[in-house]
Amino acid sequence: MAKFILGRKLGMTTIYDKERGALNVTLVECEPNIVTQIREADKDGYKAIQVGVAKAKVQNPKNPKDFLKIKEFRGEIEGFKVGDTLSIDQFKVGDRVKVSGITKGKGFQGVMKRHGFKGSPHSHGHKHDWRAPGSIGSSFPEHVIKGKRMAGRMGGKRASVKNLEIVEIDKENHILFLRGAVPGVKGRIVEIVG
């Protein structure tokens, strides 16, 4: 059975291991998730379980206003019913997980930061256009081709990081220590799938 939970990114720190030395880890707080809905193959066309992170005390598991985030996890899921809770007890140290979330928004950026363009040389008549994109088209077809790498909004998109190792688990405070970086800013909800 698949392992999955929603958690809140707390930030990064360094912990020390006797064999491996210093390990950079991301702390993710995974308070118990509540099952809000079960999708059935005969009724919905697929099998899935829908879980949510509660804002405070949940009166009705089917009321979406009681939750900060609700996410559906597809697959062969048996033995759950609406109102059940998922905790970090399903994970163990050494497990490899995939973490998905929304990346940090960086606003409107130029081509050098957004796409890694080299820029113009700093000589031979290039006085003010060191960071300019350069040519964006040709004489035919007389318009900018769709998908051209140009300046624009950067970040704020969904991203996933695979094979992050669970280095430590703090069951008392519901915290997973994941080796490596996790997408998003501090306080953002991320999805963890084992």
pLDDT tens-digit map of 4-28: 999 999 999 999 999 999 999 999 9
Identify the band that residue 59 occupies on the pLDDT scale cut at 50, 70 and 90.
Answer: low
pLDDT (0 to 100) of residue 22 = 95
CA atoms within 13 A on the CB side of 26: 23
3 state SS of 88: helix
Q: Which of 105, 106, 112, 119 is nearest to 150 (CA)?
A: 112
Identify the band that residue 77 occupies on the pLDDT scale cut at 50, 70 and 90.
Answer: confident
Burial bucket for residue 5 (CB in 10 Å: 0-12, 13-18, 19+): buried
Res 169 pLDDT > 80? yes
| Pick from 3-12, 50-59, 134-143: least confident | 50-59
Report, as an integer, the average pLDDT of 135-160.
Answer: 94
Q: How far apart are CA 162 and CA 170, in angstroms?
A: 22
% residues pLDDT > 90 (the chain): 60
pLDDT (0 to 100) of residue 1 = 58
| Pick from 2-6, 16-20, 77-81, 101-105: least confident | 77-81
pLDDT (0 to 100) of residue 26 = 97
Identify the band that residue 172 occupies on the pLDDT scale cut at 50, 70 and 90.
Answer: very high
